[in-house]
Structure 1
Amino acid sequence: MRMSTPRSTRLLTSGAATAITAGLLAVTACSGPTGGPAGPPDIADNCGVPVSVDGPPRRAVSLNQQQTEIMLSLGLEDRMVGTATWTDPVAPHLAEANASVPRLADNNPSLEAVLGTEPDLVLGGYQAIYTDGGVAPRERFAEFGVPTYLSPSNCYPEEAELGEPVGLDDIYREVREIAQLFDVPERGEQLVTELRGRVEAAQAKVAGLDGRENTSVLFWFARTGSPYVAGSTGAPGIITRTLGVRNAYPDVASMWPQVGWEDVLRRAPDVLVLGDLTRDSEGDTLEAKKRFLRTDPAVSQLDAVRAERWMPMTGSAMNVSIRTVDGIEALADRLVELDRQT
C-alpha cells in the first residue's frame, strides 16, 4: 500500500485508454516535425498508453518516490525539475543527489505546480496519481502537450484483484523503460544487474534454512482496528516468493486487503513484518503496531507475538519499487536470525 496509496499492469477501461491515446496522438501530431511520418512511440504500451518524447527529457517531474529513486540511481538528477509524494526519507546513498532536485510537495502536488516547472515528461508511480483525486488524469497532461509515464507495476487501483502477481521482472522493466526514455540504457542494465546480484545474495543466505517453505509471513502495513495486510500480488508477494517462504494471505489477489484480526488469528502466521511508516495516522508507526500487539487481549496470544518474531520494514520496501530488494534482504537476514535462535 502506498503511503498516500499501491498497484499492477492490465486494466484501463478501453474507453479511457482510447481517450488518452487519442489525446497523446493529437498532441504529437500538432507538435511533431513536419515533412515526414511520426516515428513509433518510445514505449508502445505503458498501461494502455503510448509514451513518446521529443528526445531525452531534460525537465522531468517524478510524482512518486519510487520513480524518483530510480532516476537518482540512474544519475538523472540533472534532468529533474521536481519531485513529490514522499513516503519515507530518501535512500541514504541517494541523499546528496536528491538535495539538488526541487521538492514540489511532500504529498500530491497541484497540477498547476507541476505544469509550472515546464516539464517535458511526468512520471507517476500509482494509478491514483493520474486521477482527479490525485494530480490529474493522463489525458489532462496530454492536453498540455506533456507526455506521462506510469509504473507498469501499478496500472490498476490498489483494491483491484489482479490476474497475475507483480514480479521482480516488472521492477526491472520499469528501470529499463525509464533508462530508455532518458537514453541511458547502459545505466539501466547496470542497475538491473546490481539489483539481481543483491537478490541472489539474499536467496543464498536462506537456501539452507530448515522448514523455510512452511514459514508463514504476515505483512501488516497499517491500521489496528481492521488492518491492511499484504495479499499475494504486490511487493510482499515478490519478497516471499523470492525467499521461498509463505505469504499468510496467498489466496487474496488484491495487493492490500483490509481484514479482521479474527482471520489473522486463524491463520496464525509464524513471522510478522510490521510497516514502519513515517506518516502519523492510527497504527502507522512501528511503535504503535508493537503497542497494539502487546496489549490486545487476543492478538497478544499469537505465538509470533509472544516470541516477538517480528521485524520492521519501510513503506517503500513494502510497495513495488527498487526498495523491494531492500525488503528481500531485510527479511532474509531476519529469517537467518530466527533460525539461529531455535
Structure 2
Amino acid sequence: MKIRSAAWAAVAATLALTVTGCGASEPVPDSSASGSAAEGGEGATEYPLVLDNCGVEVTVEAPPERVVSLDQNSTEILYSLGLQDRIAGTASWTDPILAEFEDVDESVPRLSDNAPSYEVVLDADPDFITASFGRHFNEEGGIATRDRFAETAIETYLSPTDCEGSTTINGGGTRTKLLEIDSLYTEIRELAAVFDVPSRGEALVADLEERTAAALDGADADGATVAFWFADTTTPYFAGSFGSPGLLAEMSGMENVFDDIPDDWTAAGWETVVDRDPEVLVLGDLQRNRFPGDLLEDKIEFLESDPLTKNLDAVKNERYISLHGAEMNPSIRLVDGLEKIGDFWKEKDAD
C-alpha cells in the first residue's frame, strides 16, 4: 500500500550503495578541513554554526565525525542524508529499519535496542548526540542532561518536533498546539547544515512534500472519527490531539475521538474507548514485541474477542489501518503513515 515517488526511490538506492561513503553529489567534508567539500558552494555551512535548539544554544565548530543517535527517528534521518559513516552508535528502536537502509544499518554499531546508559554512550566516543525525544536528557529516568554532556565537550541536538520553545514534550512538558510538519523539516535542514550537506536536506524535504501531496490527493475521509491505539491491552495508550497522530488525523481529514486531550499519548480505559466509539482504528504494529498488544495480530485478536471492544463500530466493520510505531512518531516515517491512511480511504472510495 506504500507509495514511493521515483525521486525518493532513486535517492534511497544511491544511499544504500554508499555504506562507507556519502554519495558523489555532495561529499561530507573531512573535519580536518572544515567546509572544504562545500567551500564556495551555494548554501554551504559557515562554521562555527550556532543553533537555538529547544532553548539550548548549540555551537558546532566543524562537521561531527562521531555522532550517536539516541532514537530510531533521528537515525533514519541521518541515513537519509547519507551520513552513516559518521554514526558511532544508535539506540531506541521500535521497528525494523527501513528496507532501503538494511545494508547500511548492518555496518553501524547498535548501542542498545532501548535507551543506553550514560557510560555506554560515552564509550562510543561521540562528538555530537542527536535525540528525537527529550526524555533522554532528563536528570531522572534519562541518560544524562544536556548540560552534563556539554561538560564533556559533547554538543547535543533535540528534534524540534519534541519542543515548544524551551519546553520538551517527552521530557515532561505538554503541547499547547498541534505539531507542525515544518518542525520535522526544520530538523532535517538543521542536521544537514550541521554536517555541511544542505542540498541533501533540501532534496529530502522536497521528496517528503511530494509524497505528502500524492498521499492526500484523492483520499476523502469525510470527517470519519478515528482513534490511534499505540500499545497495551490492559491500559491502552491512545493518541491525544496535538502530537503526531493528531497531525495525521488533521491532514487526512479525520476527527480524533480523543481530541480533547492535549497529551501526545493518554492511558485510556476501554469503557472510554467504547463510549467514544471511533469509526476507524489506527493500530500500532510494534515489532519490538515487548508488551502485550504490541503486535498488530495481538491487537486485532483482543479487539475481536473482548466482550467490550468487539462491539466497537470499527471492529464490527473491520476498519483497521496498520501503522508501525515509527509511523506514529514525528519522523520521516510520518509520511509513510500518511500514505497508508491515504491508501485506506482511496480503496474505500473505490469500493
TM-score by length of 2: 0.82
Deviations 1:213-237 (A, max 9, x none): 3211110001112211011111111
Deviations 1:287-316 (A, max 9, x none): 221111011112101121011111211000
User: Does the CA-based 8 Å contact 2:47-2:61 persist in structure 1?
Assistant: no
User: Does the CA-based 8 Å contact 2:169-2:175 persist in structure 1?
Assistant: no
- Structure 2 residue aligned with 1:72: 79
**SS of the residue 2:259 aligns to:** coil
Q: Are residues 157 and 169 of structure 1, via their aligned partners in 2, closer, same or farther at CA, if it must alter by over 3 Å?
A: closer
- Structure 1 residue aligned with 2:319: 309
Does structure 1 residue 130 correspond to structure 2 residue 137? yes
Shift in Å, 1:160:
3.6
- Structure 2 residue aligned with 1:195: 208
Does structure 1 residue 101 correspond to structure 2 residue 108? yes
Of 110-119 and 70-79, the range deviating more from structure 2: 110-119
Aligned-pair Cα RMSD in Å:
1.6
Shift in Å, 1:328:
0.2
- Structure 2 residue aligned with 1:11: none
Unaligned 5+ runs, structure 2: 1-45
Q: Percent identity?
A: 46
Letter in 1 for 2:96: P
User: Does the CA-based 8 Å contact 1:309-1:338 persist in structure 2?
Assistant: no
Match of 1:245 among 229, 240, 254: 254
Shift in Å, 1:272:
0.5
- Structure 1 residue aligned with 2:13: none
Return the alpha-carbon distance in structure 2 between the equivalents of residues 90 and 122 of structure 1: 20
Return the alpha-carbon distance in structure 1 between the equivalents of residues 274 and 111 of structure 2: 43
- Structure 2 residue aligned with 1:170: 183
- Structure 2 residue aligned with 1:235: 244
Does structure 1 residue 149 correspond to structure 2 residue 162? no
Return the alpha-carbon distance in structure 1 between the equivalents of residues 75 and 126 of structure 2: 15
**1:43-82 correspondence runs (5 A):** 43-82=50-89
**SS of the residue 2:65 aligns to:** coil
User: Does the CA-based 8 Å contact 2:48-2:61 persist in structure 1?
Assistant: no
- Structure 2 residue aligned with 1:33: none
Return the alpha-carbon distance in structure 1 between the equivalents of residues 305 and 188 of structure 2: 43
Deviations 1:183-237 (A, max 9, x none): 111100000000000000011031xx3xx33211110001112211011111111
Match of 1:269 among 265, 278, 281: 278
Of 243-252 and 69-78, the range deviating more from structure 2: 243-252
Return the alpha-carbon distance in structure 1 between the equivalents of residues 296 and 194 of structure 2: 38
Deviations 1:235-291 (A, max 9, x none): 111111111221222221110011122221222111101111123212221122111
Letter in 2 for 1:294: E
Letter in 2 for 1:151: S
Letter in 2 for 1:126: F
- Structure 1 residue aligned with 2:147: 139
Shift in Å, 1:137:
1.0
Of 96-105 and 215-224, the range deviating more from structure 2: 96-105
**SS of the residue 2:95 aligns to:** coil
Return the alpha-carbon distance in structure 2 between the equivalents of residues 315 and 205 of structure 1: 25
Match of 1:328 among 327, 338, 343: 338
Q: Are residues 290 and 64 of structure 1, via their aligned partners in 2, closer, same or farther at CA, if it must alter by over 3 Å?
A: same
**SS of the residue 1:257 aligns to:** strand
Does structure 1 residue 121 correspond to structure 2 residue 128? yes
Aligned residues: 299
User: Does the CA-based 8 Å contact 2:48-2:62 persist in structure 1?
Assistant: no
Deviations 1:8-55 (A, max 9, x none): xxxxxxxxxxxxxxxxxxxxxxxxxxxxxxx99634321110111121
User: Does the CA-based 8 Å contact 2:47-2:60 persist in structure 1?
Assistant: no
- Structure 2 residue aligned with 1:85: 92
User: Does the CA-based 8 Å contact 2:68-2:129 persist in structure 1?
Assistant: yes
User: Does the CA-based 8 Å contact 1:300-1:306 persist in structure 2?
Assistant: yes
Letter in 2 for 1:85: S
Letter in 1 for 2:257: A
Does structure 1 residue 225 correspond to structure 2 residue 234? yes
Unaligned 5+ runs, structure 1: 1-38
Return the alpha-carbon distance in structure 2 between the equivalents of residues 64 and 40 of structure 1: 26
**SS of the residue 1:153 aligns to:** helix
Letter in 1 for 2:293: G
